[in-house]
Chains A and B, each alone.
Chain A
Amino acid sequence: MSHLRRPAPKELQPVSFAFTPENLEKAKKIIAKYPEGRQQSAVMPLLDLAQRQTEGNWVPTVAMDYIADMLEMPAIRVYEVATFYTMYNLAPVGKNFIQVCTTTPCWLRGSADVVDTCKKELGIGVGETTEDGQFTMIEVECLGACVNAPMMQINDDYYEDLTPETTKAILDALKKGEKPKAGPQSGRKGCEPMGGPKVLKAFCGCGAAPQDADASEGDA
């Protein structure tokens, strides 16, 4: 179990937490979405909001207490939610939080090479953070992008159809402070078949004649 799934040591825990005025506005809007008496349901979006606000992309214990107060629920109920869902980090992570999927479909398509590339390029092991605090890499279970396997998630973006080369290119760009283009790195669009669309071309405006679609029916 990753150390990100255990509370950060006391030295790292901030002494207080409060939403910034903008986030407080957002929080109020979120809470208002739930029916009267069901405000506690807002706990998950609020935890996400707190995580985004916190330097190091994590949820400190004081933030959980703050949310518990805000939603008038026992703090332990917030702890339960925050510790259950793996997308809440319980300890600080690097500026670029890399989650490489290593579940079966990605693994069959070469996720082990992607992990190795990350290790080599960043000089860190799984679950570790680079010394400059720029990168944290962890392995995760299926992120639901199997059709573009192998893939990794960096902060909010999916990078798909990875190869060791494209992985390296992405990391290099990030190191330079650039933001590489998210999505499939193979050039295909979304989860279209490799080599372009094969069916219903006339409807998608891809320029191909209808009879081509008929011809390729067997491949689809």
Chain B
Amino acid sequence: MPKLTVDGIEVEVEAGATVLQACEEAGKEIPRFCYHERLSIAGNCRMCLVEMERAPKPVASCAMPAADGMVIKTDSDLVKKARNGVMEFLLINHPLDCPICDQGGECDLQDQAMAYGFDASRYAEKKRAVKDKELGPIVKTIMTRCIHCTRCVRFSEEVAGVGTMGAVYRGEDTEVGPYIEASINSELSGNLIDLCPVGALTSKPYAFTARPWELKKTDSIDVMDAVGSNIRIDARTAEVLRVLPRTNEDINEEWISDKTRYAIDGLKRQRLDRPYVRVNGKLTPASWDEAFAAIKAKVSGLDGKKIAALAGDTVDCESMTALKDLMGKLGSPNLDCRQDGSKIGGPRASYIFNSTIAGIDEADACLIVGANVRAEAPIINARLRKRWRSTAGDFKVGIIGEKWDPTYKNEYLGAGPDTLSEILEGKNEFAKILEAAEKPMIIVGMGALNREDGDAVLATTRAIAEKFGMVAGEWNGFNVLHTAASRVGGLDLGFVPGEGGLATNDILDAAAKGDVEVVYLLGADEVDMSKLEKAFVIYQGAMGDAGAQAADVILPGAAYTEKNGTYVNTEGRAQQGWRAIFPVGDAREDWAIVRALSGALDQTLPYNNIDAVRSRMVELSPTFASLNVPTKAEWTDFGKAGDMKPEGFASPVRNFYMTDPISRASVTMAKCTEAFVKDAAAEKVA
């Protein structure tokens, strides 16, 4: 480990670290544009120059490996002069349009020009202008502002795995962008906006909306998929304006998917902002009391077996806890949080991503079964790609299910259970790879588990995990990839049929027959509403989607940006998000609605504040006792051996941009669907 001196401070850094990292270790801030921790080193902006003893000229610290005995100065006159020079050159062609630039206030160039820029320009010649590029519905470009740091080029090549961006032409004429017009067809393209240190790539939906200092920033958790990406919600007064990633090395590093970032504009449309009651076949606005009275009239005296509850994909654990307890008080065992009808929910190890997302960084082979990871969890796909890159292609990936492009090298093994059996019997070539791997993992998607034969598929995948040593010692490579943010939380809380209770599909069938008379939909919109025509439907949620249309009583709930909520991601990691703004209109936090309803039904639940609900959650599952860390699950027997149907696995996510009521209402997601999904469909036909 090299030891070096930075401004008289002695530091020791890991072998292979750069001088820049050593300077940071010593607490010295080094200005930079092109250098980024998660991208390869380019060394082309020259802003990070430092003085090194016995070197004839300043060195670019980002590209200089730290070596033993180096003496570095970061604050000498030479350094200051060198950086001033670099800054002056960068500003030669950079327009002075900060007042109309969306990056203003959070611009690296602006900030660093404060420290290293001159107060006036000595450059009298013409500045160059560059034609803007059309990159699709998410990234807006003003290429004249580009300083050629190539972060976007490296990101799209290395992390996103789509080679769209490049630096074409040369010298003074260099332009960053695609050579021929092309949108960036990646689920991660929004991250380019965060990466761009200047205002060349900015957010199209957010253009000219607000200045960063006007925004109130709230830490929260994303619910658009089951990854549980850490996000920051930026709001001004009563409006959420944008979502940005928060760094969490174990989950999303510092990326988020485009859906996470841009589906929020759906929260401004089709909102349920007041209670409704169906009168003479028409939904009419009502007060909370009237809505509760309508429910009471129907529910009181009804046998608990005739009541059922379904929880949707984006609901928080607090509201599921309250509804579970209410159903208990009403004597109903019919509740389910798996609106896709999947059979998962046995021992905890059978339904979580046991290796954890960070565990992918250790795996050396991966079998993906019935999951289109790129569409279902782009962040996890990016992690798999990162692993593949870091092993120089030694990370072997096999895919069973539909064909999809993961952006890294893979072997397509087959469409369905037959291939799965072949692997188990060792007849497939990929079995040898799994055999040889030290830390193999399997990712089982909902496409494989939400079928009739889900139990048998689960048993087979478990057998594969056992046979190829995927569970050994500390390593557990058996991973279930969920598509819904609320699923693992619901399973942990036991929001599943009780003794003699009905599961989702049985509830729907019973409701169609009239055996179940009241169905409580807690944000559940993905079930077949035609089966609920006979039943009395209570819909509680934020969005006016399928569930609200089928409802007899609508209780307006808060969206995920409008409440404090706990979510458990696919790894089984409980995380809490905070309220960024207040719910719209008469809408209320969801657990509080259930609590109020319980009072109206004379079945009062024993909690009056969110802390009491959370204590109850800890009683129900130890998951909630330790936040932000995934709790290891014990490896036990699960699944039921049986015949598997020969049909191929089909991923439940058909369109990445539209998977839930919020993203379906989003204008930006609609534009993305038009730009990317239909293109893809047309391509397939051709």
User: Which residues of A are interface residues toward B (Cβ below 8 A)?
Assistant: 1, 5, 7, 61, 73-77, 79-80, 83-84
Mark contacts of B581-625 with chain A using CB atoms, 8 A cut-off: 1 yes-contact digit, 0 otherwise: 000000000000000000000000000000000000000000000
Residue on B with the closest CB to A75?
A: B163
A-side contacts of B178, CB under 8 Å: 76
> Which of A5, A73, A75: most chain B Cβ within 10 A?
A75
User: Could you list 20 A-B pairs, sorted by A, with CB under 8 Å?
Assistant: A1-B173, A5-B173, A7-B179, A61-B179, A74-B163, A75-B179, A76-B166, A76-B179, A77-B163, A77-B166, A79-B166, A79-B179, A79-B180, A80-B168, A80-B179, A83-B168, A83-B169, A83-B170, A83-B179, A84-B169
Question: B164 near A5 (CB under 8 angstroms)?
Answer: no
Q: Is B167 an interface residue (CB 8 A)?
A: yes
Nearest Cβ distance between residue B652 and chain A, in whole angstroms? Answer: 30
Say if the beta carbon of B165 comes within 8 Å of chain A: yes
Interface residues of B, Cβ cutoff 8 Å to A: 157, 162-170, 173, 178-180
Closest CB-CB distance, B675 to chain A, in whole Å?
A: 19
Return chain B residues, CB-CB under 8 Å to A73. 163
| Complex contacts, A76 vs chain B, CB 8 Å | 163-166, 168, 178-179
CB-based contact A61/B170 at 8 Å = no
CA distance A177 to B210 in the complex (A): 67
The interface residues of chain B lying within 8 Å CB-to-CB of A74 are 157, 162-164
CA A84 to CA B168, docked complex, whole Å: 7
- For the complex, give the distance between the alpha carbons of A77 and B157 in Å: 10
Closest to A73 in B: B163
Closest A-chain residue to B161, C-beta based?
A: A74
State the CA gap A215–B163 with chains docked (Å): 66
Q: How far is the CA of A5 from the CA of B172 in the complex (A)?
A: 13
From A1, A5, A7, A80, B180 is in contact (CB under 8 Å) with: A7
Q: Which residues of A contact B180 (CB under 8 A)?
A: 7, 61, 79
A218 to chain B, nearest CB (A): 39
Taking A5-B169, A74-B157, A79-B180 as known contacts, 11 extra A-B pairs with beta carbons closer than 8 A to each other, sorted by chain A number, are: A1-B173, A74-B162, A75-B163, A75-B179, A76-B163, A76-B168, A76-B179, A80-B166, A83-B168, A83-B169, A83-B170
Give CA–CA (A77, B158) in the complex, Å: 13
A43 CA / B165 CA spacing, docked (Å): 18
A74 vs B165: C-alpha distance when bound (angstroms): 10
Residues of B within 8 A of A7 (CB): 179-180
In the bound assembly, the distance between CA atoms of A158 and B166 in angstroms comes to 34
Cα distance, A1 to B179, chains bound together (Å): 17
A80 near B167 (CB under 8 angstroms)?
A: yes
- Nearest Cβ in chain B — how far from A1, in angstroms? 6
CA distance A186 to B363 in the complex (A): 70
Measured between beta carbons, the chain B residues less than 8 angstroms from A61 are 179-180
Beta-carbon contact of B166 and A84 below 8 Å: no
A5 to B168, CA, bound (A): 10
- The interface residues of chain B lying within 8 Å CB-to-CB of A77 are 163, 166
Q: Residues of B contacting A75 with CB < 8 Å?
A: 163, 179
Distance between A35 CB and nearest chain B CB, rounded to angstroms: 15
- The 10 tightest CB contacts between A and B, nearest first, are A74-B163, A79-B179, A76-B166, A83-B168, A80-B166, A84-B170, A83-B169, A76-B163, A79-B168, A1-B173
With CB as the reference atom, state the residue of chain B lying closest to A80.
B166
* A97 to B: closest C-beta gap in Å: 20
Could you say which residues of chain B place their CB within 8 Å of the CB of A1? 173
* Residue among A74, A76, A79, A84 with max Cβ neighbours from chain B (10 Å): A76
Looking across the interface, which residue of chain A has its beta carbon closest to that of B157? A74
- Residues in A whose Cβ lies below 8 Å from that of B162: 74
List, in ascending order, chain A residues with CB within 8 A of B167's CB.
80
Please give the distance in Å from A132's CB to the nearest CB on chain B: 30
